[in-house]
Amino acid sequence: MAYPPVPSRLKCPNCEASFVVQVRTIIDVGQEPELKEQFLRGEINRAQCPECGAGGMLSAPIIYHDPAKELLVSYMPTELGLSSEEQERTVGSLVNAIMNGVPPEERKGYFLQPKTVLTYNGLLELILEAEGYSKEMLQQQRQWLGLIHDLLQVMDDEEAFGKLVAEHRDTLTYEFYLMLAELAEAEGQEVGEDGENALAELRIKLLEHAAPELPQSTPGAATANELIDQLLEIESDEEWESAAMQLLPYLDYGFFQTLTERLDQAQEANDTEAAGDLEQLRQRLLDLLDRQSQRYREAEDRASLLIMDMLEADDLDVAAREHADELDEVFFMVLARLQQTAVQRNNTSRAERLLSLLDAARRVREEALPPDLRLISRLLRAQYPDESNQVLEEHRGLLSDELLELYDRYVEQVSEGADEAVQERLSQIREQIVAKLTILRA
C-alpha cells in the first residue's frame, strides 16, 4: 500500500502568497521504489512559491522505510519545536501506519526499533551508507556541492570564474556534471522573475570552459532504452496500461532523460514517424502519472472527510471501531499531519482532539498485532510509572523471560540517538517488568 503525500497550505515568507504543496511524512521505498531517488535528489517535501519563485525544503517529520535493508529511520526537525513526548507520539503514529500496512506474518522487530537522526543530512547519509556509499564518496559529493556554491558566487566575474574552474579542473568529472544536471532539473521550476535558472546557466557556462570526458556507455541508459522499446511495441491499450503500471517504479528522472534524448535524436534525423511515436509515448506516460497523482489526492480527500466526520463523534473509540476497515495508511498519514499542523498553530484544543482520535484509531489497529508485539508497542509509548504499570497489570499473562528479552532487543535499538530522558524511562519500565516477573515466580 502506497503512502501518498498530504496537501498542505503554506504562506510564502517572501511575498505572503498562499499556495498548496504536497508533503510526505512516510517514505516507504518498498512500496514505492521511485521515492528513493526522488528523496536523494531533494525533490520530496520541497516547496516553491508560484508567485515569486522563492522556495526551499520544508520542515516536516519523516519516517524512511526500506524493508529490503530492514532500515527504519525517523527524522524530526528541531524547527518544529515539539517536546520529546510530542515527537515520540508523532514518530509512533507514523511507524504504526507503516506496520499496519504489513501482513502480521511479515512484521519484523525493526518496526518497533526505528533509528533516529537529528539532522536532514544525517538522514541522507544513513540512507546512502545503507546503499553502499562509503564515507569517502559522501565527502566527495559534499565537496562538489561546495564547489557549485562557490561557482555560483562568481558567475558574473569572468576572471574569478575562469580561475576557479582552472583550480578545480580535475574535479569537473562526468559524475560532477551529472549531479549538476540533476540539481538543475530539480530546481527547474524555481526561477526568478526573469525566468532564469542559475544552476542551468552554471552548467552551460561550465561546459564552455571545461567539457567532461564522457563514459563509453551507461547501464542505466541501456535499461531505460529497453523499457522504452518494450512500451513502444505494445499495441493494445489495455496491455499497455497494465505494463506501464508495473513499470511505474522505473519511470524516474533517468528514464525520462533517455526518452527525451531519443526524441531529440529522432527529430534531428527528420525521422518524423519515430519522433511521433516517442512523443506520444512520453505524453501517455505523463498522463498516467497525472492519473495516479489524482487517485492519491482523492484518497487523501476521502481520509480528510472521514477524519472530520469522526471528530464529531461523542465517543472516538466507538467511531474508530465503526470505521475500522477505513483506517488505512492514508488515514493515519493525513491524521498525523493534521495533528502536527494544529500543534504548530498552537490550536491546543484541536491538537488534543486529533491526538485522541489518533490514539483511538491506533488502538483499533494494534489489535491486529501479535499479543507480545502489541504489549511492547504500548510499553514503548507509555509514561512511567503509572501508565506503564497499568499496561503491565493488564497483560500479566504475557510477562515472561522471552518477552523481557524481546523488550531488551527493541529498547537497544530504540535508545540509539534517543535523549537521556527517553532512555531513563525505558530503563525504568524494564525494572517494572523484572519486578513483576519476580513476583509472579514467587
- Domain residue extents for the chain: 6-133, 136-209, 219-295, 371-441
The Cα 336–Cα 115 span in angstroms is 19
Integer angstrom CA distances of residue 5 from 95, 319, 340: 16, 25, 15
H or E segment and range at residue 23: strand 18-23
In sequence order, which ranges of 101-134 are alpha helices (DSSP H)?
A: 120-130
What's the CA gap between 429 and 383, in Å, rounded? 9
Task: Using alpha carbons only, give the angle 63, 64, 69 rounded to the nearest 5 degrees.
Answer: 140
Q: Which helix (H) or strand (E) holds 262?
A: helix 253-268
Q: pLDDT tens across 303-336, in order? A: 999 999 999 999 999 999 999 888 887 888 889 8
Residue with the three cell numbers 504475557: 398
Mark out the alpha helices in 41-108 (DSSP H runs): 84-100
| 3 state DSSP class of 247 | helix
What is the residue-wise DSSP string for 377-394?
A: HHHHHPPTTHHHHHHHHH
Rounded-to-integer distance, Cα 9 and Cα 344, Å:
13
Full pLDDT tens readout for the chain, 442 residues: 578 888 888 888 888 889 998 899 999 998 888 888 888 777 788 888 888 877 777 888 999 999 888 889 988 888 788 887 888 888 888 888 888 888 877 778 777 777 888 888 788 888 877 877 666 766 777 788 778 888 888 888 888 888 888 888 888 876 777 677 666 655 543 333 343 457 777 877 777 676 555 444 333 444 788 889 989 988 888 888 888 887 777 777 778 888 988 999 999 999 999 999 999 999 999 888 888 778 878 888 899 999 999 999 999 999 999 998 888 878 888 898 888 888 888 889 999 999 999 889 888 877 766 777 778 878 887 889 899 999 898 888 888 888 888 888 777 766 655 678 888 888 999 999 998 888 877 5
- The 8-class DSSP code of residue 138 comes to H
Residue range 152-192, pLDDT digits in tens: 888 888 888 888 888 888 888 767 776 776 666 555 433 33
pLDDT score, position 197? 57
- Torsion, Cα of 368, 110, 378, 329 (10° steps): -50
User: Nearest Cα to 22, choosing from 34, 7, 1?
Assistant: 7
